């Protein structure tokens, strides 16, 4: 465990800006280990961008880099993402 680790709640603002819905209650399934859980509970690391990691296997679920009015989102680590309509 790193002191620099936060959780998905800290990405609520930027995720809402990109997806335009509340994302911390969306349920993601990890493409690596299959664990499913709410985005608010995943691990989050902040560097040049944001990296969201699976709390079970620590694989990267999602990477987000924002610059000005552009956002670059890598979702390869997610098998599925379930959103409330």
Minimum CB separation of residue 74 from other proteins in Å reads 21
The residue count for binding other proteins (CB under 8 A) is 22
Q: Is 24 in the site for other proteins (CB under 8 A)?
A: yes
Q: What sign does the dihedral 46-52-54-57 (CA atoms) show? A: negative
Q: Is 25 in the site for other proteins (CB under 8 A)?
A: yes
The one-character DSSP state at 31 is: T
The one-character DSSP state at 24 is: T
The single residue listed with the structure tokens 């608010």 is: 40
Q: Which residues bind other proteins (CB under 8 A)?
A: 1-10, 12-13, 16-17, 22, 24-25, 38-41, 46
């Amino acid at each position: 465990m790193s002191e620099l680790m936060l959780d998905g709640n800290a990405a609520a603002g930027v995720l809402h800006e990109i997806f335009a819905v509340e994302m911390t209650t969306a349920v993601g399934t990890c493409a690596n280990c299959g664990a499913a859980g709410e985005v608010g509970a995943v691990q989050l690391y902040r560097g040049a961008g944001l990296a969201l990691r699976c709390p079970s296997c620590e694989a990267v679920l999602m990477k987000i880099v924002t610059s000005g009015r552009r956002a670059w989102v890598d979702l390869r680590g997610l098998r599925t993402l379930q959103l409330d309509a």
